[in-house]
Amino acid sequence: MKVRLAQPITVGTIYNQITVKEMEIASVSFNFEPELKKRGKAILSVVLVDPATGWKHNIVIRDATALNVWQAVDKNNNISRRLLTQILGEGRLPAGEIFENPDSG
């Protein structure tokens, strides 16, 4: 998925200016450790990259919005279950059972 900027932006330094017209998601990271979730928060980090130049921009959200995004993305724990199934299936953890966490989300 890409975003085409309404107006290209110029980034970089005086000597190395780059014009950015599009950005695409390069990576996404969520942190919803118990101490964050207890306060109704999480941390969401999204790295966007300009496919034409390779210039990267990192956006970090540290509030309830980040937790709400994760809960919407992982509706019914589909991503969590898939990740844990894959990790267990590859033997990256000792054998175990996946179960619903009443506090998840």
The pLDDT value recorded for residue 102 is: 64
Number of C-beta neighbours around residue 76 at 10 A: 9
Phi, psi of 97 (to 5 degrees): -115, 135
The pLDDT value recorded for residue 14 is: 93
Structure tokens at 77: 């724990």
The pLDDT value recorded for residue 100 is: 81
Phi, psi of 102 (to 5 degrees): -60, -20
Give the HSE-up count for residue 21: Cα atoms under 13 Å, Cβ half-sphere. 3
Its pTM stands at: 0.81
How far, CA to CA in Å, does 26 sit from each of 2, 53, 76, 94? 10, 13, 25, 31
The pLDDT value recorded for residue 76 is: 79
In order of start, what are the domains of the chain with their CATH numbers? 2-72 (2.30.30), 74-105 (no CATH)
Block mean pLDDT (10 aa), the chain, length 105: 95 95 96 93 97 97 95 87 94 92 60
The pLDDT value recorded for residue 75 is: 86
